[in-house]
Structure 1
């Protein structure tokens, strides 16, 4: 005999108590809005009523039986909501709103259980149907549970009115805070003026030939984000060890010559500077992983765990070409790099933070009279150029021309910016301290 079908977890009584409390008490509306979404209700009529209450509340219209039923009539949803009699019963059944928080929690918990069941079903189906790619199945399982633990479900269609309403609120906030850096600040004034910081969900590419200071520049960004802006930064170093990065950060923060640090040839002033710098660095939310040859799936898994435990505001990858793809059977390295690039962009969207990936350029700039990198130098690197929201090249003329007038000057060339201008920002190069610094000169391309 077949086992009876079980209904999904729900509590009609708790849903009725929440809706009833929202009708009779404005405070309950605010409390419910903070926790619940429309899809958290099991019964369709409750979804319709909840939506109508939110509409009235957001338009600053008092919520009662009359305004609610009239609003549902005007949107042709009164019947779907159960009719006037049912709405009256909901409000009339509420003796006190004192326990509304408990009812909200019950509704939320039941909703999470339903989502967990759906996610588990999806994982089971994937496990049966995709037995040749265990890593992919594990990644899917982890992503489903991660999204649930972060209170986030898969994105779905939204009407333009809802998207625009959210957009206008953000535009209004920016208008009231003119000049504010909206993303994670770089610490370089002229660069932030062009980019307004590194934005959530963006893939940022920093590319250069060897010895231009890519790692130094990236660590300067991490240092400023963590120490000055209080951000949580994850660094994946596939080339240098954790200790090497720590030394570079220490030299930058303490203004101590890297050679003196490596040889132990430090004077009393150096020790004093190191002591002052080590405290803030030790307490900074900078997390370093130096696993060699890491795959994108491994990186995503580690980011998910770190986000739950510490939060993540910025991810740095040094560098992209040292990563391995999730599929061992790529026809070419170019295809593998393209897959890695697309996965990094997906990581930025999933973590809802900027991901900065460093990239080594080919010898193409060496063949030109002007050795400054160009976007065309990325063409051999798969789809990196297309996937990146912001592409920056680092260049130091002094590396090629010892007699140049631009001694100790680096250029950060913004070659592509999806939502902003391109151009070149000049920076001071303080190589002995593993550091770039601000300059007041901007050369517009």
Structure 2
């Protein structure tokens, strides 16, 4: 979202060597007074705060205000509005405004003048940030917290870097409709019902249309369901698709993939990399970790590692991150690597600002709001994993519900899409009935064997199968998507049945 720069008070006119061009400011104002229509070329980006001379900023602000009211602006119109300003009086009063309107040559370069005024304002803001950094670092009277100062400095620099971005803020319906049509066009020509970043799973893409910009997606499940595996699969698929598309000559904005930032608060970066490499090599990550592989399998692993050296997947395994620290690091990755997807594993391991009065529910609410704000700020999808409460285990039907989201209803409220991973195989496996010790004709043993046979048939139906439950979706229908899950290599894939269509359940 565009953000107006506010020049710090420690930048004064008397400063020597401060970047500024008073002549360009005067020329721009003169051009606007001669031809009010030129305001359309400059007012989207340029603000009164960008002018170094405060009087010029006041004149510019007054001109724009009158133009917004559909009034024709001339020096005569401005006279009663500006005559009491002491800064203008020091320059000669309204006579100075009249002189500005006499420089017709400025009409030819109004856009260049506006661009230079804005760029110089950015430089002055950088100076302001730098001075504030020095002042804070030199001040040792209060609490000494250099890491917090670094985070604040990075946030300030990011605001300066992003201040010229104008995609946010107010959009006309024509602009919004154009974006919507482009998304629909992408879905049409992708051939896979895809209007966002691919998950790498056709059935999931068909259900939710991919991962959409500025969306917060919550992926939840009980331990053992495979939510981390699903997140790593999606992250890998998106990054791999982007890498292949760029190699094939597509522009970054045309790719259905994206560079991915993965914040792993539970697993280390090497553990995550081991899991991904094992998956691509069709190896068990457990066997790989324990060295139970053959030389040929190791060569496959090394080959996969070589092929994926350029994979745009960035892993941050810093433990105990605060939501403020995560946002700072995400901004940095966006600036350096233009990430298009952010994954957080998992939400409950983040910390709030400490202002929630030791109330965990309020802290989780702050974190979920922070993640949604980050998704909108960076204009990328954020996929955050979440725990479920133990209430699931108390029910006969173990399929999770929205009410099972742990610790805060704000997670459900802030999320655009809520997904649950559920594997019936996990629960059914733990309920295996006993078998008869020996073959016998007794009715009791026969009943025991029958119960085990029925259980075995049920296991065959759900073996290596999983459900992705779309419990909430702002963009469409809820429902379920069947997936194949190979637990040995922790890999999700589309089911073999090509005739399968995801079920729909309107809300």
Using the size of structure 1 for normalisation, the TM-score is: 0.77
Residues 1:377 and 2:377 aligned together: no
Q: Structure 1 residue 388: deviation in Å? A: 1.3
2:328 counterpart SS class: helix
Partners of 1:260 and 1:444 lie apart in 2 by 39
1:347 counterpart SS class: helix
Q: 1:120 to 1:424 in 2, by over 3 A?
A: same
Once the two structures are superposed, residues 334-379 of structure 1 have per-residue CA deviations (whole angstroms, 9 ceiling, x without a partner) of 2222222222222222222111111121211111111110001116
Using the size of structure 2 for normalisation, the TM-score is: 0.68
Partners of 1:75 and 1:330 lie apart in 2 by 50
Partners of 1:319 and 1:383 lie apart in 2 by 16
Q: Is residue 26–residue 100 contact of structure 2 (8 Å, CA) maintained in 1?
A: no
Corresponding residue for 2:487? 431
Please, which runs of 5 or more residues in structure 2 have no aligned partner? 1-9, 80-96, 244-257, 430-457
Q: Is residue 15–residue 46 contact of structure 1 (8 Å, CA) maintained in 2?
A: no
Corresponding residue for 1:39? 47
Q: 1:176 to 1:352 in 2, by over 3 A?
A: closer
Q: Structure 1 residue 279: deviation in Å? A: 2.2
Q: Which of the two has higher C-alpha Rg?
A: 2
Partners of 2:11 and 2:45 lie apart in 1 by 30
Q: 1:13 to 1:305 in 2, by over 3 A?
A: same
Partners of 1:353 and 1:147 lie apart in 2 by 17
Residues 1:14 and 2:24 aligned together: yes
Q: Is residue 388–residue 406 contact of structure 2 (8 Å, CA) maintained in 1?
A: no
Q: Is residue 184–residue 198 contact of structure 1 (8 Å, CA) maintained in 2?
A: yes
Q: 1:307 to 1:156 in 2, by over 3 A?
A: closer
Corresponding residue for 1:443? 503
- Aligned-residue Cα RMSD (Å) equals 4.3
Once the two structures are superposed, residues 213-268 of structure 1 have per-residue CA deviations (whole angstroms, 9 ceiling, x without a partner) of 11110000110111112422111111111111011110122222323322323335
* Aligned positions of 1:134-173 closer than 5 A: 141-152=153-164, 158=170, 162-173=171-182
* Aligned positions of 1:302-341 closer than 5 A: 302-327=329-354, 330-341=357-368
Q: Is residue 21–residue 100 contact of structure 1 (8 Å, CA) maintained in 2?
A: no
1:236 counterpart SS class: strand
1:220 counterpart SS class: helix
* Aligned positions of 1:1-400 closer than 5 A: 6=13, 10-15=20-25, 37-39=45-47, 42=51, 43=56, 75-79=70-74, 89-92=102-105, 103=113, 106-113=116-123, 115=125, 141-152=153-164, 158=170, 162-179=171-188, 180=190, 181-230=194-243, 231-327=258-354, 330-378=357-405, 380-400=407-427
1:228 counterpart SS class: helix
Q: Structure 1 residue 306: deviation in Å? A: 2.0
Q: Is residue 20–residue 92 contact of structure 1 (8 Å, CA) maintained in 2?
A: no
Partners of 1:77 and 1:443 lie apart in 2 by 60
Corresponding residue for 2:254? none
Q: 1:280 to 1:151 in 2, by over 3 A?
A: farther
